[in-house]
Structure 1
Amino acid sequence: MNTYLDFVALHTRDLDAARSYFTGVLGFAVAQDRPDAVVFTTEGGAAFAVRRPLPGVDTAQPFGVGVSIWLGVPDASAYHGQLTAVGASIVQPLQDGPFGRMFAVATPDGHVLTFHQH
């Protein structure tokens, strides 16, 4: 059986703050705004969201550990400049990587998102 990536959701302790960060700082557009999750518009591939933790998830444990998330952007240098100007937490500087120009940011919940030029 072949599988494909369909949906990625990052857990957050504060959905309102996560919505503000992803829209106001990272510039994501909201596709759906629900009481338990915010789904963002994507150009293709998997859907992407932030959501309140599922029942049974231990919220005392740190979020954002053990996962690498890479998101494609048309111009990594321009997006890096845009995020730097609004104070995003850049945790890996703009550089050439295995998939072209790339950099990484940390979200308020500790998730590291790598943006690479595609």
Structure 2
Amino acid sequence: MHTTLDFIALHTTDLDAARRYYTGVLGFETTPGPPNAAVFIQAGGAALAIREPLPHERTKHFGAGVSVWFGVPDADAYHARIAAAGAQVIQPPQDGPFGRMFSVRTPDGHALTFHQTPA
């Protein structure tokens, strides 16, 4: 069976702070969603949201063992912009298996990798 990745939700302990980080630091844009989540506009691929976890999903280890990758047209320019805005860079820009790339860690501990894709 073939599947298509459709939706990714990252848990957060502070939805308002996470929303400010994703919009103010990373430059993501929101779209309407449920009250316990911030859903982001996508250009293609799977949709991304940050949301408050349900009681049975609560853990102290958000993001452990997970890395989410995003394609951007210019990895170095995007890195400069979000680093200046306060992103915690955990892997500086470098050439990787999928082209130019770098990684940041969100305030909730999620690793996000941005790699350069063709425009």
TM range (shorter): over 0.9
Q: Aligned residue pairs: how many?
A: 117
Structure 2 residue runs of 5 or longer lacking an equivalent are none
Q: How much does 1:33 deviate? A: 4.2
**Residue aligned with 1:56, SS:** helix
Give the TM-score normalised by structure 1.
0.95
Give the TM-score normalised by structure 2.
0.94
Structure 1 residue runs of 5 or longer lacking an equivalent are none
Cα RMSD between the aligned structures? 1.0
Alpha-carbon distance in structure 1 between the residues aligned to 2:92 and 2:40: 25
1:1-118, aligned counterparts within 5 Å? 1-59=1-59, 61-118=60-117
* Amino acid across the alignment from 2:88: S
Q: How much does 1:87 deviate? A: 1.6
Q: How much does 1:55 deviate? A: 3.0
Percent identity over the alignment is: 64
Alpha-carbon distance in structure 1 between the residues aligned to 2:83 and 2:46: 26
Q: How much does 1:58 deviate? A: 2.8
Q: How much does 1:25 deviate? A: 0.2
